[in-house]
């Protein structure tokens, strides 16, 4: 991850929250949801891992743009589950956990379903 931070200027100084912190919170919340079989890598993340850099944020991309926290979550859905329902649950969960953790309301939660996981 880069060194991107949410920067909040307060009366007594600034508060900085790393994108890795938000990624960890999102990951923990999303993988426990029914219908989510796991997070999926983006092609960029796979390339980074191939050259030996490990990323703890597999399947999660955090960006801070003009005071907005943009969270892209890439998931695999369990076969037999309603994809739209699972994706909406993920979107709601991501919004809620980021809001609870940061106190910010300007959050965009995008969900990308990259695959379906079948039982073995």
Task: Identify which has the larger pLDDT, 102 or 90.
Answer: 90
Distance CA 44, CA 99 (A): 27
* Closest to 111 in 3D by CA, of 35, 2, 17, 48: 35
- Nearest 10 degrees: Cα torsion 73, 74, 79, 83: 50
Answer whether residue 13 is part of any domain: no
Task: Identify which has the larger pLDDT, 45 or 98.
Answer: 98
Answer whether residue 60 is part of any domain: yes
* Closest to 26 in 3D by CA, of 81, 83, 108: 108
Looking at residues 70-96, what average pLDDT do you find? Answer: 97
Number of domains in the chain: 1
Answer whether residue 82 is part of any domain: yes
At 104, is the pLDDT very low, low, confident or very high (cuts 50, 70, 90)? confident
In which domain, by residue range, is 103 found? 19-117
Answer whether residue 58 is part of any domain: yes
Query: 21-69: per-residue pLDDT in tens?
Result: 999 999 999 999 999 999 987 555 554 455 444 455 589 999 888 878 9
pLDDT > 90 in the chain, percent? 57
Strand partners, 107: 69
Q: Is the pLDDT of residue 5 over 90?
A: no
Q: What is the CATH number of the domain that holds 25?
A: 3.30.70.1350
pLDDT in the model for residue 57: 59
């Amino acid at each position: 991850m880069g060194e991107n931070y949410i920067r909040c200027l307060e009366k007594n100084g600034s508060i900085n929250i790393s994108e890795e912190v938000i990624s960890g919170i999102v990951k923990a919340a999303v993988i426990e949801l029914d219908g989510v079989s796991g997070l999926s890598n983006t092609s960029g993340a796979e390339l980074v891992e191939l050259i030996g850099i490990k990323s703890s944020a597999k399947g999660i991309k955090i960006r801070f743009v003009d005071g907005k926290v943009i969270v892209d979550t890439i998931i695999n859905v369990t076969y037999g589950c309603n994809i739209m329902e699972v994706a909406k649950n993920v979107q709601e969960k991501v919004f809620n956990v980021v809001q609870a953790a940061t106190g910010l309301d300007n959050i965009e939660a995008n969900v990308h379903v990259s695959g379906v996981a079948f039982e073995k």
